[in-house]
Amino acid sequence: MRAWVIGLFLLSLAGAVLIIVGGTTLVAIGVACIGIAAVGAVSIAFFVVGRGEDEARAAETAQREAQGRPENGDGRITSRRPPRSRGDA
């Protein structure tokens, strides 16, 4: 994970250098590098949050099983809703 963050930082730094150096093509490449680095940073942030949620869910399930309360199959409440009225009656 740390390598990805460092790589994205270096990519954005290279993009900034290309923008400073100038020239139409170099500016376009620099902006593209910074944009790719920004998308990568947002992707890593979502990945880290999702992984944290997965770990928390696994810890919660392990704690529930240790207490002897097995999880309901799909996590829903056991009582079901009555069938909907379709106006036929």
Reply yes or no on whether the pLDDT at 44 is more than 80.
yes
Which run of H or of E encompasses 64?
A: helix 24-66
Identify whether 73 is part of a domain: no
State the pLDDT confidence band at 71, using cuts at 50, 70 and 90.
Answer: low
| Gap between the Cα atoms of 8 and 4, Å rounded | 6
pTM score > 0.75 for this model?
no
Residue 39 sits in which domain range? 2-66
Overall number of domains in the chain: 1
Q: What is the mean pLDDT of residues 21-27?
A: 92
Identify whether 86 is part of a domain: no
- Angle between helix 24-66 and 2-21 (nearest 10): 160
